[in-house]
Amino acid sequence: MLELGAESGNLKRDDVIARPATIMKFLDEAKVYIKSGDGGNGCVSFRREKFIEFGGPNGGDGGRGGDVIIEAVNGLNTLIDYRYQQHFKAERGGIGMGKDRHGANGDDAVLKVPVGTQVYEEDGETLLADLTEVGQSVTIAKGGNGGFGNAHFKSSTNQAPRHANPGLPGEELTIRLRLKLIADAGLVGLPNAGKSTFLATVTAAKPKIADYPFTTLHPQLGVVRIDNREFVLADLPGLIEGAHEGVGLGDRFLGHTERCRVILHLVDGTAEDPGESYRVVRGELDAYGHGLMSKPEIVALTKIDALTPEAIAEQTAKLKKACGKTPLTISSASRAGVQEALRALMTVIEDARGNDPHSAASKEAAWQP
């Protein structure tokens, strides 16, 4: 128990209790319960006015319940908000009232998510929506219709109906949100292969860099500018043998490379056998599936500043034998070969953009006055 001295009478609660600082963390999967609003009930009411003997029914209809809408917005790159709140309910419709007053419609519940978010059913396999553009939205649960008041049922044969409909219940379900970052190029490789150092060298991103494996624990994004052009580069946590079985950090972050147009595979030049390092990562990409093996790949030997020219030639030959093509040689520390690697990435990305009918570049090229 905290004891305060006599002079502590002027202390406020905020002075005694230290509040922890809020730290923005990366979260790419969340489970959320949603429920749309119930419809409002209809009203049974009759007009009662002086000198009017048979006023007739005037019960209003109930309002419609609010929908649950998921919208992709700009400025978000994590689903961390849905770790602290997992229940979202739309407002129910207002009830009908006398004098033909209808109930108000309930307000919608809008869940704002980053661009690239996929919405799945609770089983995690049935895809409901894929939000890939800013402003794109989808209605996941529709609100219930409002019930009719007794004024709706009046007719020549039933001039005084004494019943009204209740509002329909809203939909409720549990969904899974899964974020797959949208980047033009993705960095893959074993831990400590120099991926974060490369990202920090070519972009303004500031990932954590240290000389031990698994320094990067979640994906990082950066914008690369080269020859008056730009593209988005994603740095992913390192893969080790058996990652598809859950070893290390597993392969769950490979989902962020599914949207990449090209993969930059970095291999540590100071490793004993670069060819084996290359085969391990390619084996994990193959085990993950989802078309990663068919994506264009650029292979680069890193950390050449720590090697002699003879060692560079030897390591390059080993890597070439494993991958079947001549790899690039780069050093993020001295920036040797970095510009060539970026231009190679830019060439593949522009070709992919030109062939993509949904890209802005292809739309501009196809437009004619």
Q: Which of 70, 89, 81 has the alpha carbon at shortest distance from 173?
A: 89
Q: Of 251 and 161, which is predicted with more confidence?
A: 161
Residue 347 contacts residue 359 (beta carbons within 8 Å): no
pLDDT interval class at 332 (50, 70, 90): confident
Q: Of 265 and 369, which is predicted with more confidence?
A: 265
| For range 156-175, the mean pLDDT | 90
pLDDT tens-place string over residues 192-224 = 777 788 888 887 666 666 555 556 666 777 788
Tokens of 186: 């993705």
Q: Of 217 and 253, which is predicted with more confidence?
A: 253
Task: Provide, rounded to the nearest whole percent, the portion of the chain with pLDDT above 90.
Answer: 20
Residue 2, pLDDT above cutoff 80: no
For 313-349, give the secondary structure using H, E and C.
Answer: HHHHHHHHHHHCCCCEECECCCCECHHHHHHHHHHHH
- C-alpha span between 37 and 308 (Å, rounded): 69
Residue 279 φ/ψ, nearest 5 degrees: -65, -35
Q: How much is the pLDDT for 212?
A: 52
Name the amino acid, one letter, at 86: Q
Residue 144 φ/ψ, nearest 5 degrees: -75, 150
Per domain, the residue ranges of the chain are 29-179, 185-358
Predicted TM-score (pTM) of the model is 0.70
* Residues β-bridged to residue 174: 33
The domain 185-358 is placed in CATH, from the list 3.40.50.2300, 3.40.50.300, 3.40.50.1000, 3.40.50.720, at: 3.40.50.300
SS3 89: strand
Q: How far is CA 325 from CA 196, 293, 299, 332, in A?
A: 24, 16, 8, 22
Computed from CA positions of residues 140, 146, 152, 153, in that sequence, does the dihedral angle turn out positive or negative? positive
pLDDT interval class at 76 (50, 70, 90): confident
Residue 127 contacts residue 258 (beta carbons within 8 Å): no
Architecture of domain 29-179: Distorted Sandwich (2.70)
